[in-house]
């Protein structure tokens, strides 16, 4: 067993899929709040990269959810009127 397996982090991230990708800085916090209220964990990727590029907004951020919750997450966001491309 390697060091990353002992921590357990890699297995969790491996089982995650992209729910949305956006340059809209308001969309991910909204989606995360809605999903959290519904009991779905999410993880935001590329935060540091978009901070590095400043406020230009050229680097999108991604919101990841567990693979087995992806369909539910999409359905919930649509029900709440959160618009995104999938």
For residue 45, the tally of other CB atoms under 10 A from its CB is 17
Q: What is the pLDDT of residue 5?
A: 41
Domain boundaries, the chain: 17-78
Residues 6+ apart with CB under 8 A from 18: 62, 63, 64
Per-residue pLDDT of the chain (86 residues; tens, 9 = 90+): 344 444 444 455 568 999 999 888 889 999 999 999 999 999 998 877 655 555 566 788 899 999 999 999 999 999 999 887 65
Q: What is the pLDDT of residue 43?
A: 93
Quick one: 17-78 is in which CATH superfamily? UreE, C-terminal domain (3.30.70.790)
Contact yes or no for 37/80 (Cβ under 8 A)? no
Q: What is the pLDDT of residue 82?
A: 86
Contact yes or no for 18/62 (Cβ under 8 A)? yes
- Round to whole Å and give the CA distance between 86 and 63: 12
């Amino acid at each position: 067993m390697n060091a990353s397996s002992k921590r357990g982090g890699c297995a969790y991230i491996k089982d995650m899929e992209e729910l949305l990708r956006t340059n809209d800085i308001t969309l991910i916090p909204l989606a995360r709040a809605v999903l959290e209220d519904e009991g779905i964990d999410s993880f935001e990727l590329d935060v540091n990269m978009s901070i590095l590029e400043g406020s230009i907004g050229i680097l999108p951020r991604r919101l990841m959810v567990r693979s087995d919750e992806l369909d539910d997450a999409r359905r919930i966001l649509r029900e709440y009127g959160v618009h995104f491309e999938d």
